[in-house]
């Protein structure tokens, strides 16, 4: 474990800064190596279009993973994010369709704004519920979020009658640009991803709240003695993650304009993997938001390269992903 | 009325059967109530949602038409859960016939054999059991035709020449059957080249990513065999985003209402589909119920044909109320 933060919960990260920086290079080195390999295997890999495709599809998992970094650094976990995204998407679609089809149909932009607001509110609500059950209710985060994983997905499946929920066609046309449009040559989801990542890094490293999150993850008891309001900080981390999931969903819905019972399946594992590959310990205490961002990009680059080549059997693709993940974890391993 | 059962039953199991059918001796006047257990996968995607919907449709119709008949529909998310449900249907609900769509063939073979040995009439749907002796009847869609019709249609539309990319479902025997039939049929038209075939997991999002990468990688694609109507939706979005105009056909598969609707509305890319309707669970339940009421056996194997859906016949395949 990290010995220093336990004795100085107020400012844990600074004394380790040098070591942290060294460890942080691992995922970047891996990403650069992967990109070189990708270019050698297929020159199309290095095109701007492909780069933007990869970054755009990383945005969902990446944004969720930034929120997940906070939860994991604080010593928690959230297994429900994929189901939560699916449910938020489903509810958004149902409500937006109703607003358009209702007795007093609203204009498309207003409906979209209402949908976005609803999504953010739902994310915050679900996150707060998680946080309260975990801190006040004193139930293991693993169990609480495993439970809601089932609940969220079941409710969506019920809403969709097992099939798909599709956004009204005209709304879909109006909302589509949120995913497909570019600003200054960069797709909107990538901008949002960048903003969330920068915001997350600033909050985790430059605010008292961020320090408290790290302190709680290092040693909850000591954090309590240091007069940190542990319960409040914990609830806030889950709330933050819920909002991140909602932001990801707001970007996801315009892509296909639909939610199905398979929407967001296994996103939780991808998000957790991105966090850990990026150098945050699953045991909590310390983490880097930028590492998480690199981790998320790395994971989708592997899939992208595998799709752009056919040197190995498609049956072995998941094995390649597994090998790369373990190799990167090895590169950035810390001292136990 | 029970006479035909004894044809198929081993004498050693008569004791168990008697216990099950207790009261059947006294049925000269009133027929014994028929209880049909239906074990199917839970709705995890459009197709299984259709299965659940059609199973319940059969339940409603049968129970309305035959007072006293019970049709109990159980949906399972995993093979152990389904095996337990099959057991419960026998022990708790005392079913006398089972319509089973196994989540996985090999794991459900033993549980099915056990209830069959207890005198339950077993109809297996879609995925055959590894030991055919564990089932009385087998009702399935035609996976060979699913691939063959798609290949034949695309070969004709492309005039025997062009580049095709393929999206596969999930690694499974069904997927292999379809893809092998597709490839075999295409061998007849050597002018058509399959550029690559990758898994899209019968999922819209995965299909979107795979198609994006195909579009990055191949500059000239004439047609896409998306091999599933859900995957076709992701494929269409990716094509739209890349603003590519080289692709002339996107062929899905399954006959989902969204795809059939597009065909009816003369979509530019989706002009044909092949039926592989979850309605076969409905057919299987009704066939089993009617045969059991008359005391008859079903044919050992019933194949529900897969049919090419084009604008001409799309109307008969459009079920707006079904989730699929």
Whether residue A192 is predicted with pLDDT greater than 90 in this model: the reply is: yes
Out of A53, A166, A315, the one facing B212 most closely (by C-beta) is A53
DSSP H/E element including B140: strand B137-141
The single residue listed with the structure tokens 């990446």 is A62
Q: For B126-184, how does the pLDDT look when each residue is reduced to its tens digit (9 = 90+)?
A: 887 878 888 888 888 888 899 999 999 999 999 989 999 999 988 877 888 899 999 99
| Lowest model confidence (mean pLDDT) among A196-200, B90-94, B158-162 | B90-94
Using left for φ > 0, alpha for ψ between -120 and 50, and beta otherwise, residue B254 falls in left
Of the ranges A67-76, A152-161, B93-102, the best mean pLDDT one = A67-76
Residues 180-209 of B with CB under 8 A from A: 196-199, 202-205, 208-209
Whether residue A299 is predicted with pLDDT greater than 80 in this model: the reply is: yes
Res B5: pLDDT: 42
Residues 251-280 of A with CB under 8 A from B: 255-256, 258, 260-263, 265
Chain B residues whose CB is inside 8 A of the A310 CB are 196
Whether residue B9 is predicted with pLDDT greater than 70 in this model: the reply is: no
The larger pLDDT score, comparing residue A123 to residue A278, is at A123
Q: If pLDDT is split at 50, 70 and 90, which confidence band does A333 have? A: low
Contact of B216 with B124, CB cutoff 8 Å: no
Q: What is the mean pLDDT of chain B?
A: 84
Out of A53, A260, A314, the one facing B204 most closely (by C-beta) is A260
Same domain? B15 vs B110: yes
Structural domain count, chain B? 2
Same domain? B93 vs B178: no
Closest CA to A134 of A185, A184, A97, A80: A80
The answer to whether residue A190 sits within a structural domain is: yes
Full-model pTM? 0.76
Same domain? B138 vs B149: no
Out of A258, A261, A314, the one facing B198 most closely (by C-beta) is A314
Whether residue B28 is predicted with pLDDT greater than 80 in this model: the reply is: no
Chain B residues whose CB is inside 8 A of the A308 CB are 213, 216-217
CATH of the domain at B234: 3.40.50.2300
Contact: A157, B43; criterion CB under 8 Å: yes
Which of the 8 DSSP states describes residue B56?
H
| Lowest model confidence (mean pLDDT) among A79-93, A195-209, B14-28, B94-108 | B14-28
Res A18: pLDDT: 54
Res B2: pLDDT: 42
C-alpha span between B227 and B168 (Å, rounded):
6
The single residue listed with the structure tokens 């993850």 is A217
Same domain? B198 vs B49: no
Same domain? B182 vs B235: yes
Out of A163, A308, A314, the one facing B46 most closely (by C-beta) is A163
Chain A residues whose CB is inside 8 A of the B53 CB are 161-163
Res B17: pLDDT: 42
Q: For B190-246, how does the pLDDT look when each residue is reduced to its tens digit (9 = 90+)?
A: 999 999 999 998 888 999 999 999 999 999 999 999 988 889 999 999 999 899 999
Q: By the CB < 8 Å criterion, does A160 face chain B? A: yes
Chain A residues whose CB is inside 8 A of the B199 CB are 314, 317
Average pLDDT estimate for B97-118:
86
Same domain? B80 vs B113: yes
Res B268: pLDDT: 87
User: Half-sphere exposure of residue A43, counting CA atoms within 13 Å on the CB side?
Assistant: 1
Structural domain count, chain A? 1
Whether residue A9 is predicted with pLDDT greater than 90 in this model: the reply is: no
Contact: B216, A314; criterion CB under 8 Å: no
Strands B301-304 and B273-274: unpaired
DSSP H/E element including B61: helix B46-65
Of the ranges A192-201, A267-276, A310-319, B131-140, the best mean pLDDT one = A192-201
Q: For A115-167, how does the pLDDT look when each residue is reduced to its tens digit (9 = 90+)?
A: 999 999 999 999 999 999 999 999 999 999 999 999 999 999 888 877 788 88
Same domain? B261 vs B293: no
Q: Please state, in angstroms and as integers, the Cα–Cα distance from residue B145 to each residue in A102, B90, B93, B162, B233, following that order.
A: 44, 35, 38, 22, 22
- Of all residues in chain B, what percent carry a pLDDT higher than 70? 90
Res A82: pLDDT: 94
Residue B301 structural domain: 3-142+278-305
Q: If pLDDT is split at 50, 70 and 90, which confidence band does A5 have? A: very low
Q: How many CB pairs under 8 A join A and B?
A: 91
Q: For B108-128, how does the pLDDT look when each residue is reduced to its tens digit (9 = 90+)?
A: 888 888 888 888 899 999 887
Same domain? B9 vs B47: yes
Q: By the CB < 8 Å criterion, does B212 face chain A? A: yes
Same domain? B60 vs B164: no
Contact: A307, B217; criterion CB under 8 Å: yes
Q: For A73-92, how does the pLDDT look when each residue is reduced to its tens digit (9 = 90+)?
A: 999 999 999 999 999 999 99
The answer to whether residue B76 sits within a structural domain is: yes
């Amino acid at each position: 474990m990290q010995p220093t933060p336990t004795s100085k919960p107020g400012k844990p990260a600074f004394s380790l800064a040098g070591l942290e920086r060294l460890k942080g290079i691992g995922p970047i080195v891996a990403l650069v190596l992967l990109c070189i390999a990708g270019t050698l295997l297929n020159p199309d890999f290095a095109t701007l279009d492909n780069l933007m495709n990869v970054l755009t599809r990383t945005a969902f998992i990446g944004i969720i993973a930034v929120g997940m970094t906070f939860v994991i650094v604080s010593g928690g976990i959230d297994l429900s994010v994929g189901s939560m995204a699916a449910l938020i998407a489903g509810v958004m679609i149902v409500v937006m369709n109703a607003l358009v089809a209702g007795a007093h149909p609203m204009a498309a932009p207003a409906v979209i704004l209402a949908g976005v607001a609803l999504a953010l509110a739902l994310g915050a609500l679900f996150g707060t519920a998680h946080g309260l059950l975990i801190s006040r209710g004193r139930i293991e985060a693993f169990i609480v979020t495993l439970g809601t994983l089932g609940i969220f997905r079941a409710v969506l499946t019920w809403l969709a009658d097992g099939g798909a929920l599709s956004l009204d066609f005209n709304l879909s046309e109006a909302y589509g640009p949120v995913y497909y449009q570019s600003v200054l040559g960069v797709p909107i989801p990538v901008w949002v991803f960048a903003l969330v990542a920068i915001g997350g890094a600033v909050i985790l490293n430059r605010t008292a709240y961020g320090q408290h999150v790290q302190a709680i993850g290092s040693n909850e008891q000591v954090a309590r003695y240091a007069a940190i309001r542990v319960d409040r900080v914990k609830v806030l981390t889950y709330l933050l993650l819920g909002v991140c999931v909602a932001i990801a969903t707001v970007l996801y819905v315009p892509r296909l304009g639909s939610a199905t019972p398979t929407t967001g399946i296994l996103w939780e594992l991808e998000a957790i993997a991105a966090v850990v590959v990026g150098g945050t310990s699953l045991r909590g205490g310390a983490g880097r938001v930028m590492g998480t961002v690199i981790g998320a990009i790395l994971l989708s680059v592997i899939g992208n390269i595998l799709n752009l080549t056919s040197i190995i059997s498609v049956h072995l693709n998941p094995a390649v992903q597994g090998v790369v993940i373990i190799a990167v974890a090895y590169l950035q391993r810390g001292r136990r | 009325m029970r006479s035909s059962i004894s044809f198929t039953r081993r004498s050693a199991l008569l004791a168990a059967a008697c216990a099950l059918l207790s009261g059947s001796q006294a049925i000269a006047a009133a027929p014994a109530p028929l209880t049909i257990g239906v074990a199917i996968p839970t709705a995890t995607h459009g197709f299984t949602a259709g299965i659940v919907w059609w199973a319940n449709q059969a339940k409603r119709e049968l129970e309305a038409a035959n007072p006293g008949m019970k049709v109990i529909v159980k949906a399972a998310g995993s093979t152990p859960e389904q095996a337990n449900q099959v057991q419960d249907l026998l022990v708790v609900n005392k079913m006398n016939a089972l319509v089973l769509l196994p989540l996985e063939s090999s794991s459900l073979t033993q549980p099915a054999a056990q209830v069959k040995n207890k005198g339950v009439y077993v109809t297996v749907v879609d995925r055959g059991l590894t030991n055919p002796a564990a089932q009385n009847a087998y009702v399935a869609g035609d996976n060979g035709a699913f691939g063959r019709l798609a290949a034949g249609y695309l070969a004709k539309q492309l005039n025997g020449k062009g580049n095709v990319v393929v999206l596969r479902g999930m690694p499974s025997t069904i997927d292999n059957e379809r893809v092998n039939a597709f490839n075999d049929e295409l061998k007849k038209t050597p002018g058509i080249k399959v550029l690559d075939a990758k898994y899209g997991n019968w999922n819209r999002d995965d299909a979107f990513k795979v198609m994006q990468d195909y579009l990055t990688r191949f500059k000239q694609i004439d047609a896409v065999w998306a091999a599933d109507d859900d995957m076709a939706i992701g494929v269409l979005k990716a094509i739209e985003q890349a603003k590519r105009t080289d692709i002339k056909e996107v062929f899905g598969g399954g006959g989902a209402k969204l795809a059939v609707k597009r065909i009816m509305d003369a979509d530019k890319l989706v002009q044909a589909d092949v039926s592989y309707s979850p309605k076969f669970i409905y057919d299987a339940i009704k066939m089993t119920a009617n045969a059991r009421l008359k005391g008859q056996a079903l044919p050992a194997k019933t194949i529900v044909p897969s049919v090419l859906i084009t604008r001409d016949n799309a109307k008969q395949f459009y079920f707006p109320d079904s989730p699929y």
